[in-house]
Amino acid sequence: MTGQRTYGGVSAEERRAQRRAALLDAALDILGSQGIDKLTVSALCAGAGLNERYYYENFDGRDAVISALFDSLAEELAAALLAALHTAPGTTRGKAHAAITAGIGVLTDDPRKARVALLVSSASPELHTRTVHTIQAFANLVAAEGIDFYGLTEDTPDPAITFRATYLVGGLVQTLTAWLQGELPMSRDELIEHTTDVFVLLGEDLAQHYRQS
């Protein structure tokens, strides 16, 4: 019961969550501003204002820190996408434009987040696998939203839906990577508009196929 004692109205569990959040904030700053080589236990703890025992309370190594930060960014991204979808105009372009704007905004309003997202897949084989799974999870989200938007009611969804969603999300990741690295000479607004065009094209084409069948 001692571990659950409250201090100043804050429980032990809440204090631990606050320390973990502080360590992840420090990790975002180090990874996003200085690079993976600077992500050391001492640098993390100095950035978070904590001693090292709190690092080991939460993480068992650098990959665990990077994984937790990546998962946190993925959750933030998913929340932003869903919020945008649920408040967007009820048209294909309105939905696509709102979601794409929100997603790209999360990763570019704070440039450190984009750097972390790009870094993770190359940090280790395990983190690369985690990135692949996360991309597929977002593809599944896109597929589910598309099924709901177009009112597709088949008991077994057409594999073409998953294919197109995976193609769109994977393509967006590669395109955004190229843009962030300066390989696509266009503004963020232009990137959003071109990406929206592709999402609308593939979405409407699939819906037309269902309307004709």
The string of DSSP letters for 95-118 reads HHHHHHHHHHHHHHHSHHHHHHHH
Q: Using pLDDT thresholds of 50, 70 and 90, give the confidence band for residue 16.
A: very high
Of residues 72 and 12, which shows the higher confidence score? Answer: 72
Give residue 21's Cα distance to chain centre: 17
Give residue 191's Cα distance to chain centre: 18
Q: Say what percent of the chain tops pLDDT 90.
A: 69
Determine the pLDDT at residue 213.
62
159, pLDDT greater than 90: no
Question: In the 8-state DSSP scheme, what is residue 140?
Answer: H
Determine the pLDDT at residue 9.
64
Mean pLDDT within 1-25: 78
Structure tokens at 30: 């180090």
1, pLDDT greater than 60: no
Determine the pLDDT at residue 206.
80
Q: First-to-last CA distance in the chain? A: 63
Determine the pLDDT at residue 5.
59
Output the pTM of the full model: 0.86
Flag the least confident range among 21-35, 98-112, 146-160, 196-210: 146-160
Flag the least confident range among 83-92, 145-154, 166-175: 145-154
Sole residue written with tokens 């004692």 = 5
What value, to the nearest 5°, has the Cα angle with vertex 117 and ends 105 and 108? 20
Sole residue written with tokens 């993976």 = 36
104, pLDDT greater than 50: yes
Q: Using pLDDT thresholds of 50, 70 and 90, give the confidence band for residue 167.
A: very high
2, pLDDT greater than 50: no
The DSSP H or E segment spanning 208 is helix 188-212
Q: Answer for the pair 52, 14: CB distance below 8 angstroms, yes or no.
A: no
Nearest CA-CA partner of 73 in 12, 126, 127: 127
Structure tokens at 192: 């959003």
Neighbours of 30 (CB within 10 A): 23
Q: Say what percent of the chain tops pLDDT 70.
A: 92
